[in-house]
Structure 1
């Protein structure tokens, strides 16, 4: 059974990744092109600096190749994430969350989006090209990962608190939400803020890029949750029909 779920997760994750890649291609790539144009214009206007001895030019990948590689990247991302989510769903079935297959898949996908994507994004949102200091990329990556781990830990705490509350469903929901928000808000307040947007960078372009970046993730997780839930529900009904026959 677990093998079937993993294969299902891999295939549907790949499909959801390609759907998200299509969204990113049509919505996000034009913003990246605009940001690159701004970066190139700023570089052309800046005085040329002599290159140090022994310096070699980095190999640049053309934009058409990058755009084609976008679908490869989102497909591989979906493949990996789909397999992991299938294992999570297999471990949660009958223990935590909705009892029906579709509801559980949507719950896992929605929770993963909030914990893994939304929580770190609200503190450290994505930036387009020409925004960010290359020398701080390591520290920014570490802070983003820390925020991601906080989201996962807060989710685990919320689930544990929900299972310990014996009262009605609304009390469990309040306890779970409070248990989730306390560590997340604490991390948002305590972790340093990073703002490396240069003066004069168009605020509209920055906002549109960030919305497109978050939207790509939302499309992926929504597509995966719906697809996995729909296929799982059909498989469950088919199995019940065979048993009844």
Structure 2
């Protein structure tokens, strides 16, 4: 049958994954870094993905296509939800009885003279700050969004910064202007699973009642994915708090926010 269906130009696709998030039917997946319509039967032809594409790689056409199959879509969604709900068993690496050391949560308390780090093992380390360099303002570990546990105690009632990881390298005073006084979560929407980011952030927002949310992104199209993930997570968690978006140019200038 002839019907409306999406067409994706893989040459224009930048791999931002925004269309994957926008397609509620799961008709689009990333294949070798490019968005691809995996089956005609999953595409309802309504085009929710079109406005999310920053490069215009998706358009609506009319062609011979298998009819949209809502039953198969619902089955696919159910299977996906079951996989996501399944508990993940964390296996400790050899020689590490407590799991990956990089995932051990700890808060970091700072003053002008010293930096004190405390962890669940109650080990304390004092580090003399070198006053010839700008001090770190990082207040917790880990910072990579994939490694942060949604129920880490430092998240409760926090001012949260969600940063595209390139922003800290591009903007010279990032610690002073953005990290200071906040819990920092970093990620790359182009290289990581943006859908997973959205789900993780939804859990974090829902469980921890954040005081405020700040998002920093680069002035490149693929960075829109982290903004989309945060917005969708706030909606899903029904969180209404002070919200700020900041865009940083590739030359390190502050462009917006």
Q: TM-score range by the shorter chain?
A: under 0.3
Higher helix share: 1
Report 1 or 2 for greater relative contact order, CA contacts < 8 Å, sequence distance ≥ 6: 1
Higher strand share: 2
